Structure 1
Amino acid sequence: MQEKQSRTFNILHTEWSPDGWGGQERRVIQECLRVREMGHNVVIACQPGSAVLENAKHVGIPVEEVPMRRVLDPAAVWKIYRAIKKHRINVVSTHSSKDSWSGGLAAKLAGVELLIRTRHMANPISQSPFNFVYRMPDGIVTTGEAVREAMIKDNGMAPERIVSIATGVSLERFDPSRPVNPGLREELGIPEDAPVITMIAMLRKGKRYDVMVAAAQLLKDEFPQARYLFVGDGAGRATIEGLVREAGLEHQVTLTGYRSDIPELLAISDVAVLTSELEGVPQGITQSMAMGLPVVAAPVGGLAELVLDGKTGFRAQSGDPASYATAIAKLLRDEALRGRLGTAARNHVLQGYTEEMMAIRTLEFYHRILDARKKGR
């Protein structure tokens, strides 16, 4: 797979998130880095003091600080318009609701060649005629095929305007052959012989940590030595801590908070789980698969593309702790099964979910939309 190198793009990404550092924000940075490696210019317009701003600066991506207070923010539109002119932008790529309005309007006012909207979420889109934020872009990128199909079916989007491009995994970072951190288990209070079940997700309601806690409670008698790592942070931390206490699982469950050593955590893990009700293609799961872990999740949104039942892991029923417990138990009982499914999981990621593939497909989509416009389609 090779990107069509017929021109250089000057790309402005816009991201509204004031403080989040989850999969969406990480993808913006990842995409910028990979596309820049391919010879294109990138800039990010983001909130002052945001995690995106700080991380972009850390890796040397140019940034424009743009306060975005609401959906239609004239001051934000003006600042983004000025950034477009300053950097001679020919592609604007928006990522969240608020910045898609401000960034989209600024792109249209500036006469930018290409306006792209990336949709990271799988929740339904309003059918209101006033919600024209999805009609402004020349093209739309979704992070999962299920999200793309829903937009075509439910919102009447033209199929040729929408492409599914999953967030890619860095194969350099997520390499199962890398050495294991010998002190990590001790740091986290995990005995050497204890199986580890890991869930990587922001601590918020939609991730359904309550289901994961209930599943762990069901597994307690058979696997009293098992340890559960909840990796991430967010507004729901206190609630989840309360659920863990009520279930009497304080000695088995560790809320790690934000961690930068995700590959190392996965290297000491045996099974990866995600209990979300609604997802695109979650990075925590593709990263786990790249590290050779079998996964357990419900086939919702983009997860159906990843969790091939009995091949890369096991499917559970959304919202049903017992089905998660059954699948996890099956994997914990059988080391050889974990190995087979884990190997297949990594191979599945290698075939379609790498950072390089993400960047190449994104740039190819830009060219495709521009070529179609030239041909009058």
Structure 2
Amino acid sequence: MKKIKILYLIDKLEVGGTQRHLSQLLAALDRQVFQPEVCCLQRLGPLADDISGRGVPVSCLGLKRIYGPRAYAALRRLARRIRREGIDVIHSYLFSANIFGAWAANLAGVRSIASKRDMGFETTRLHKRASRWVNRNAHIVTANSQAVARHILEEGGIAGDKIKVIHNGVPDERFRIPDTSETDTVLAKRGAWRAGRPTVGTLANLKPVKNHIGFLKAARRVLAEVSEAQFLIVGDGPLRADLEAAAASLGIGDRTTFFGEAADPRPLLAVMDVFVLCSLHEGFPNALLEAMAAGRAVLATRNGGCPEVVRHGRNGFLIDPDDVGSTAGQISRLLRSEDLRASFGKAAR
């Protein structure tokens, strides 16, 4: 039987939820049926070695933008490559790759799948028009939650039966709780960390939409109620220096550890007593699923796809990202009750 050749197109392979999702998808893909390869628009990134190590070819176009003479030339080369290699399907992830992928597929005469995984950050008229163009021209548009599917319909340019909802998932065996002694040793070198203290953590790239400033403001209130608490922020990004300064100005710098990027979040999730996601917008966050799979007690933002997996008061708490007082109160409640944390963690798995 001829294998189905799929070209996965993505902006870059940095450490992020979408990129980790793609890496896990490629690991689980049936190689007797599918023959995958990956192409990055901009640059490779740290997950490229992980993917290529599984025998999946990884290439890069090296584009800074998806318009202009250089981009158009790359588009034509990609279309020729698709025809030459007999690619059957282009499956794209993230805004720029969705546009480029649908365009290249049309030129090459093959089918395309565009994946949309958030509630839309396209604020300009041009970006909104581009998103509707993708909706019209991709053969299938996947959404990672019912909330994202509704958003795609609101964008326009698409019939409902063209949208396929495929929720994110995590392999259960990956999130069995590991021994944390080595993690404690690594964290102890970061200065603020102390093993044995009740720990509130979050896992997300340090970008405005993830609302780490809301997390830090809630952390200050928690510390006033639970004096032995400490806070762990896993992830990196353009706001790191600003957030470190904010933690210091809020008086919690000596209780807050900024770990940075982590390709494998399991050992860090294992030391968290409570996991918090304060994002302003979410599609269906992998970090939340990973925390729940690890048996953590979770608080998640009450928007996007989070309410599709967190049942308030049953396997976690839903919070309004701008309600710092309520968020802090729920965190403190969980820190004070080991039984409630255990109950939420068991139900979350």
**Same-fold call, TM cutoff 0.5:** yes
Amino acid at match of 2:59: E
Contact 2:3–2:32, Cα closer than 8 Å, also in 1: no
Amino acid at match of 1:212: F
Q: 1:62 to 1:312 in 2, by over 3 A?
A: same
TM alignment of 1:107-186, pairs within 5 A:
107-112=105-110, 114-123=111-120, 127-128=128-129, 131-155=132-156, 157-176=158-177, 179-186=178-185
Q: Which residue of the other structure, out of 64, 79, 99, is the alignment partner of 1:69?
A: 64
Instruction: Tell me the TM-score normalised to structure 2 length.
Output: 0.90
Q: Which residue of the other structure, out of 90, 93, 96, is the alignment partner of 2:91?
A: 93
Q: 1:297 to 1:92 in 2, by over 3 A?
A: same
Q: 1:128 to 1:261 in 2, by over 3 A?
A: closer
Q: Which has the higher strand share?
A: 2
TM-aligned CA deviation for residue 68 of structure 1: 2.8
Contact 1:119–1:140, Cα closer than 8 Å, also in 2: yes
TM-aligned CA deviation for residue 131 of structure 1: 4.5
Q: 1:26 to 1:83 in 2, by over 3 A?
A: farther
1:225 paired to 2:228 = yes
Q: Which residue of the other structure, out of 327, 335, 340, is the alignment partner of 1:332?
A: 335
Contact 1:13–1:94, Cα closer than 8 Å, also in 2: yes
1:21 paired to 2:15 = yes
The structure 1 segments of at least 4 consecutive aligned residues displaced by more than 4 Å after TM superposition are: 124-127
TM-aligned CA deviation for residue 268 of structure 1: 1.7
d(CA) in 1 for partners of 2:131, 2:163? 20
Amino acid at match of 2:184: R
Equivalent residue, structure 1, for 2:324: 321
TM-aligned CA deviation for residue 38 of structure 1: 5.9
Amino acid at match of 1:345: A
Equivalent residue, structure 2, for 1:205: 208
d(CA) in 1 for partners of 2:26, 2:80? 20
Q: Which residue of the other structure, out of 231, 237, 249, is the alignment partner of 2:252?
A: 249
Q: Which residue of the other structure, out of 28, 36, 41, is the alignment partner of 2:35?
A: 41
d(CA) in 1 for partners of 2:61, 2:255? 43
Equivalent residue, structure 2, for 1:55: 50
Equivalent residue, structure 2, for 1:291: 294
Contact 2:61–2:74, Cα closer than 8 Å, also in 1: yes
Equivalent residue, structure 2, for 1:373: none
Alignment RMSD (CA, Å): 2.1
Q: 1:254 to 1:94 in 2, by over 3 A?
A: same
5+ residue gaps, structure 1, are: 1-5, 347-377
Amino acid at match of 2:317: F
d(CA) in 1 for partners of 2:169, 2:99? 26
Q: How many residues align?
A: 337
1:83 paired to 2:91 = no
TM-aligned CA deviation for residue 7 of structure 1: 7.0
TM-aligned CA deviation for residue 266 of structure 1: 1.4
d(CA) in 1 for partners of 2:173, 2:251? 39
TM-aligned CA deviation for residue 101 of structure 1: 2.3
Contact 1:11–1:89, Cα closer than 8 Å, also in 2: yes
Contact 1:299–1:307, Cα closer than 8 Å, also in 2: no
Paired residue secondary structure (2:259): strand
d(CA) in 1 for partners of 2:114, 2:341? 38
Higher relative contact order (CA 8 A, sep 6+): 1
Contact 2:168–2:284, Cα closer than 8 Å, also in 1: yes
Paired residue secondary structure (2:129): coil
d(CA) in 1 for partners of 2:54, 2:78? 22
Cα distance per residue 1:164-202 (max 9 Å; x no partner): 2122212221113xx413132233134343111110000
TM-aligned CA deviation for residue 344 of structure 1: 0.7
Q: 1:151 to 1:260 in 2, by over 3 A?
A: closer
Instruction: Tell me the TM-score normalised to structure 1 length.
Output: 0.84
Contact 1:127–1:155, Cα closer than 8 Å, also in 2: no
d(CA) in 2 for partners of 1:188, 1:64? 35
Equivalent residue, structure 2, for 1:32: 26
d(CA) in 2 for partners of 1:38, 1:266? 34
TM-aligned CA deviation for residue 265 of structure 1: 1.2
TM-aligned CA deviation for residue 115 of structure 1: 0.8
Amino acid at match of 1:139: I
d(CA) in 2 for partners of 1:74, 1:289? 43
Identity percentage of aligned residues: 29
Contact 1:36–1:42, Cα closer than 8 Å, also in 2: no
Contact 1:281–1:303, Cα closer than 8 Å, also in 2: yes
Equivalent residue, structure 1, for 2:275: 272
d(CA) in 1 for partners of 2:318, 2:146? 18
Contact 1:208–1:319, Cα closer than 8 Å, also in 2: no
TM-aligned CA deviation for residue 247 of structure 1: 0.9
